[in-house]
A and B are shown apart, each in its own frame.
Chain A
Amino acid sequence: MGDAAELVAMAKSGERSAFDELVRETYADTYALAFRLTGNEDDACDVLQDAYLRAYRSLKRFRGDAAFSTWMYRITANCATTHMVRRGRARHEELDRDAPVADGRIDGDPEAMAGVTLELNRVAIALQDLPPRLRAVVVLRDIYDLPHEAIATELGISEAAAKVRLHRARKKLRERLFPTRGERQAEERARAV
């Protein structure tokens, strides 16, 4: 089949097979985002299903200003927010620190990639440790390059609030990954209490 824009045009004109093709082309990436936002496989699958249904129903409103995949990221962010609120997980999310981090698509020479994998896994774990509302902004901005305005819209907050959250999230990540001596001591004191 043709490129995404062509498929979108065909899907808009009512060709279901074209939309199915768009799903096949984008679902892996969209799932990865859903997983990053929700933190587990079951929720990610629910969000993914919901996101594609929503996209299918509102395809006529997609103007094509951005790529279809970017539009899907926005819808996924919105669905994930709704899903997390509905499940009441935003406040008391339990994190399993021993759970393996699902970063399984690293190809190439294992030895050469070992260092990179280690770094990626450390950052992935630090990301999962962030509160969901902070994690969402940093994932959408720093991994998926969504503009601040789009992030604010999909998370249902003001642009200023999105920027404040982003600032906090990055700071927490930096502290977690590269703690200064003072920060390390403070963390040890907090654990001891």
Chain B
Amino acid sequence: MRCEEVVDALPQIMDGMETADRKVVRHIETCLRCQAELVQYRKLFRVLHQMRAQGAKPPPGTVGRILTGLEEAAERGAIRSALAGRRTAYVAGLTAAAGAAATAGVVVVVATRSRGGKVGQVGWPLGGRRPQAVGSLAGAILTRSPQGQ
């Protein structure tokens, strides 16, 4: 086995990403160069692990700035949700009003026709022929469609 192959695999083996087979172990036992590399990687990993506890200190006032940022974000969120609530109520109101207006219109048409009014005047298609089903709101809507004939 060549040193390059062993050295290349060393960090992965130490990390547990690869397993050291017997050939690699036997090579390291007899090769001073690979032993030296193993020691170097061990040292590197040890120092890297120590670095977690030796990190850079945050500058003064950092936590205050984070908390202020969160406070502002929370306020913005509250305003947004309040606005979203109002928008929903506004849209719901508009929809209800439009629905009521449409229903009222249909009721007027149906009432006019059931009293025997001149159907042609309200614009029935195909020469003003009277629709067949007018007993219900759904029927009135269906029969007003040009394909209803």
Contact (Cβ within 8 A) A142 B45: yes
Interchain CA distance A106-B51 in the complex, whole Å: 10
Does A68 interact with chain B (Cβ within 8 Å)? no
| Stretch in B58-66, B82-90, B126-134, B136-144 touching the partner | B58-66
Asked whether B54 lies within 8 Å of A106 as measured between CB atoms, the reply is yes
Instruction: Give the contacting residue for B48; candidates A35, A45, A143, A171; CB below 8 A.
Output: A143
Please count how many residues in chain A sit with their CB below 8 Å of the partner chain's CB atoms.
Answer: 46
B124 at interface (Cβ–Cβ under 8 A)?
Answer: no
Q: How many A-B residue pairs have CB under 8 A?
A: 112
CB distance from A182 to the nearest CB of B (A): 11
User: Does A28 have its Cβ within 8 Å of any Cβ on chain B?
Assistant: yes
A141–B56 alpha-carbon span in the complex (Å): 18
Q: Does A16 lie within 8 Å of B62, measured CB to CB?
A: no
| Secondary structure class of chain A's binding surface, majority of residues | helix
Is B40 in contact with A56, judged by CB distance below 8 angstroms? no
Question: CA separation between A188 and B51, bound complex, in Å?
Answer: 29
Interfacial residues, chain A to chain B (CB-CB below 8 A)? 16, 19-20, 23-24, 27-29, 31-33, 35-36, 41, 44-45, 48-49, 52-53, 56-57, 102-106, 116, 119-120, 123-124, 138, 141-144, 148, 163, 167, 170-171, 173-174, 177-178
B residues at A contact (CB < 8 Å): 11-12, 15, 17, 37, 40-41, 43-45, 47-59, 62-63, 65-67, 69-70, 73-74
